Structure 1
């Protein structure tokens, strides 16, 4: 499990860097200011949580279900939160309907919050 979590962290961290560079060099002239701010938010949250995953993978004991649950919350949260924002930006750029992605972003944020709460509980219990 540790290797899987660290691999996810590396992939998510690497893609955050790639998307940041792509946004800064390619998309800057193609997106609106609001879209660029949303892109920066998605990338920032992805990177922060990729670092949290890296810590989880290297520091947590995988013998308890709380470690697995909080790590899964981080992974699902990143994919839903940042992924839905990337989708909203792409569909907005292509001028396609995007209403179905709107509710996914806060759901991803909820998973991230639950992951942090579970991490705190792990050390309080």
Structure 2
């Protein structure tokens, strides 16, 4: 299976530490897609999803620290967007672990679209600000 999302320079924001985080997130998203397409065991899917959620939460805290440090004016709205995604994927994770929801490529595609939108729009605005103030 080819990657569901590939890193390329169009995703680069020009803030190296954020770009590095995004590369890792894309790798974890691709790992989840591979595990789904290969019909991996449920416990493997649980672990990959947990890794993705945990890293995403860590990355969001990283971005939020940078936004606070440099007083990014869009901090609160950006933080709300982060919180909404974490809430949504955690709810999915809970349903999956309870056996109430299947793990399908629909989940990966939803996350892919969210990542693309968030990186290309929300994060780009933040990165442009950070580049001027770091």
Q: 1:119 pairs with 116, 126, 134, which one?
A: 126
Give the TM-score taking structure 2 as reference length: 0.49
| Cα separation, 2, equivalents of 1:80 and 1:51 | 17
| Cα separation, 2, equivalents of 1:80 and 1:113 | 18
Higher relative contact order (CA 8 A, sep 6+): 2
Superposition RMSD on alpha carbons, in Å?
3.0
Cα deviation for residue 119 of structure 1 reads 1.9
| Cα separation, 2, equivalents of 1:33 and 1:80 | 25
Count of aligned residue pairs for this structure pair: 86
* Structure 2 unaligned spans of 5+: 1-41
Cα deviation for residue 111 of structure 1 reads 3.0
Kindly provide the CA deviation profile for residues 46-105 of structure 1, in whole angstroms up to 9, marking residues without a partner as x: 111202111211222xxxxxx3335522x1332233322221121012122479x94764
1:46 partnered with 2:57:
yes
Kindly provide the CA deviation profile for residues 19-61 of structure 1, in whole angstroms up to 9, marking residues without a partner as x: xxxxxxxxxxxx611121111111111111202111211222x
Q: Which has the higher helix share?
A: 1
Give the TM-score taking structure 1 as reference length: 0.52
Q: 2:97 pairs with 75, 86, 93, which one?
A: 93
| Cα separation, 2, equivalents of 1:76 and 1:108 | 14
Alignment of 1:1-125 (within 5 A): 32-60=43-71, 67-69=72-74, 71-73=76-78, 75-97=79-101, 102=107, 105-106=111-112, 108-109=114-115, 110-122=117-129, 123=131
